[in-house]
Amino acid sequence: MEHYDLIVLGAGSGGIAVAIHAAGHGAKVAVLEPNALGGTCVNVGCVPKKAMWFAADLAESLAVAHEVGFSTTPGELDWIEFIRRREAYIGNIHESYRQRFAASGIELIREYGRFTAPHGIVTESRDLAAAHIVIATGTRPHRLRIPGGDLGIDSDGFFALRARPQRVAVIGGGYIAVELAGVLHTLGADVSVFVRGDCLLHGFDREVTAELAEVMRARGVDIVTHHEPASVTHEANAHTLHFTDGSRMGGFDALIWAIGRDAHTGDLGLDVAGVVRDARGHVLADDWQNTNVAGVHALGDVTGRLALTPVAVAAGRRLADRLFGGKPQSRLDYANVPTVVFAHPPLGSVGLSEEEARVAYGDDMSMYRTRFRPMLGALTGASERTFLKLICAGAEERVVGIHILGRGADEMLQGFAVALKAGAHKRDFDATVAIHPTSAEEMVLMAEPNRAPVI
C-alpha cells in the first residue's frame, strides 16, 4: 500500500488546481488521470470552443471590414490549418501541466482509480491510500435514449470535425447548443436549433435570453421551440428528426446533441466508499467541498454545481488551503459568480436574474435597461442592438444583477462583476465617469429606472 496526503481522481481544471496548490503547501500528492491533462475544458470544452469562437469572430470581422471599404473579401476558413494551430495551443497547455507537476513533486499516474474503502484507491497496477481524496472526474456528454439516439455527434464530436458541415441540426437550448450553433452559423453553415422548452438558456434572465433569440433569428439561425425528439433516422446521407408531436424535419448532414452532460462517476466504486450521489450521478458536496464521507471531497462539474472552469479552479485552491495551508475557513463563495455564454453575440451575466430578484425582493427593486446600436454597427449600417440590464434592490438601489448582450460583453463583464461583488450601488455607477466612445459607457449612463421591456 502506497500512502499519500492527497489523492486526486481526475486531472481536469479543478483536479489540477487542488493538486498543485496542495503540493505547494508541502503535501505528498498523486493524481490519477489516464486521459489528456486538462479534462473537458482544455480538450473538448472552453479552450477549443473559444478558439472556434475566435475563428467565427474573425470571419465576422472580415465581413464587417469588407462592408466599410476594405478590399479583403471574406472566404472559407481552412479548418485543417486552424485546427492544427488549435491543437498546438492545447499541446502547449498539456506540456505546461506536466512541467508544473514535475516541479511540484506531484506523481501523475496514468490509470483509472476506484475506491476500495473510504480512503483506499486501487488502479490497474497499484494500491493507494490517503487521508484526503478529491473526486474531480468531471462529466460526459448526454444523449437521449431514443431510437436513433446514437446517431450524430455530441459536443466532443464537434471538436473532431475537420470540415464545416453545410446543414446542421443542434438539439438543445443551453450553453453548448447556443455556442456551437453560433460558431457554425457564423462560419457559413445553415443551422437549426431545436429546444424542448420555450426559451434558450433556461435559468438566465428571460428578457435577455429572448433578446438573444431575436438576434440569432435575425442573423439567420432557425430556433424551433417546443420540439422534443422522439427518434432519429438516417437515410440518403442525411439525418431526419422525428418529434413527439408527430412532426419531422430532415435533410441535415450533421446532427449535434447538446442536451447536457452526465457525471462521470459510474465506475469509481463510490458505493464501496459510501459516497452519496444525486439521481443524475452527481457527487453531493457541501460549500466546503466535503462529501458525506469524512476525508472525501468533490469539486468541479462532477458535483453538478456551477459547471464553470474558474469555479472548479477556485474551489480546488481554497480546498487545498483549508486542508494543507492552515486556513480552516477557506472555501469558495458560490454567490454572484459571473459567466459568459460565447454566443454570437456573447451574453454576460452576474448576480440575479429579474425572475430571481422578484422572488427575493418583490416590488422593492428597480431595473434599468438600454438598447442601442454600437458605433461599429452604426458605421456599417447594421440594425443589431446591444442590450444592457441593471437590476437594483431596495431604496438604496444596491446592484444585484448585471446582464449584457452584445459584442464585447465577454470583456465588459469582469470589471462590473467586481463592482457587484463589492456591493456597489446604482449611485456608484452614476458617479463613475464614462469612457467614450464605448459600449461599456452605457452601463454608467442609464438614468431612469423602467419596469417594462424596452422596445
The grid coordinates of residue 112 equal 483509472
pLDDT at 451 (0 to 100):
57
CB atoms within 10 A of CB 394: 12
d(CA 445, CA 436) in angstroms, rounded, equals: 11
CB 349 within 8 A of CB 202: no
- Residues 317/139, Cβ–Cβ less than 8 Å: no
By annotation, the residues acting in catalysis are 436
Query: Residue 404 and residue 37: Cα distance in Å, rounded?
Result: 33
pTM: 0.95
What pLDDT does residue 74 have? Answer: 79
State phi, psi for 352 to the nearest 5 degrees: -85, 145
Secondary structure percentages of the chain, helix, strand, coil, to 5: 35, 25, 40
Overall CATH class of domain 345-444: alpha beta
Strand, helix or coil for residue 375: helix
Instruction: Name the phi and psi angles at 275, rounded to 5.
Output: -80, 130
Please give the pLDDT value at position 455.
37
Q: What are phi and psi of 65, to 5 degrees?
A: -60, -45
What radius of gyration do the chain's Cα atoms show? 24
- Per-residue pLDDT reduced to its tens digit, 160-206: 999 999 999 999 999 999 999 999 999 999 999 999 999 999 999 99
Would you tell me how many other CB atoms lie within 10 Å of the CB of residue 117? 12
| Distance (Å, whole) CA 322 – CA 15 | 15
* Sheet-wide strand order for 254-257: 153-154, 254-257, 167-171, 190-194, 222-224
Tell me whether residue 295 is exposed, middle or buried, using C-beta atoms within 10 angstroms of its C-beta: 0 to 12, 13 to 18, 19 or more.
middle
15 burial via Cβ count (<10 Å: 0-12, 13-18, 19+): buried
Where do the domains of the chain lie? 2-141+262-324, 153-259, 345-444
Determine phi and psi for 210, rounding to 5 degrees: -65, -40
Reported in sequence order, the residue ranges of 313-358 that DSSP labels E, i.e. its strands, are 339-341, 347-351
Is 153-259 the same fold as 2-141+262-324?
yes
C-alpha span between 249 and 169 (Å, rounded): 9
Alpha-carbon torsion, ordered 33, 34, 40, 46, to 10 deg: 90
CA 216, CA 221: separation in Å to the nearest integer?
Answer: 5
pLDDT of residue 454: 42
Answer whether 84's CB lies under 8 Å from 111's CB.
no
Q: What is the CATH T-level fold of the domain 153-259, as seen in this structure?
A: FAD/NAD(P)-binding domain (3.50.50)
Q: Domain spanning 2-141+262-324: which CATH class is it, in words?
A: alpha beta
**C-alpha atoms less than 13 angstroms from C-alpha of 419 in its C-beta half-sphere:** 23
pLDDT in tens, the chain (455 residues): 899 999 999 999 999 999 999 999 999 999 999 999 999 999 999 999 999 999 999 999 999 999 889 988 878 999 999 999 999 999 999 999 999 999 999 999 999 999 999 999 999 999 999 999 999 999 999 999 999 999 999 999 999 999 999 999 999 999 999 999 999 999 999 999 999 999 999 999 999 999 999 999 999 999 999 999 999 999 989 999 999 999 999 999 999 999 999 999 989 999 999 999 999 899 999 999 999 999 999 999 999 999 999 999 999 999 999 999 999 999 999 999 999 999 999 999 999 999 999 999 999 999 999 999 999 999 999 999 999 999 999 999 999 999 999 999 999 999 999 999 999 999 999 999 999 999 999 999 998 887 544 43
Q: What is the predicted pLDDT for the residue at 174?
A: 97
User: 46 and 175 in contact (C-beta within 8 Å)?
Assistant: no
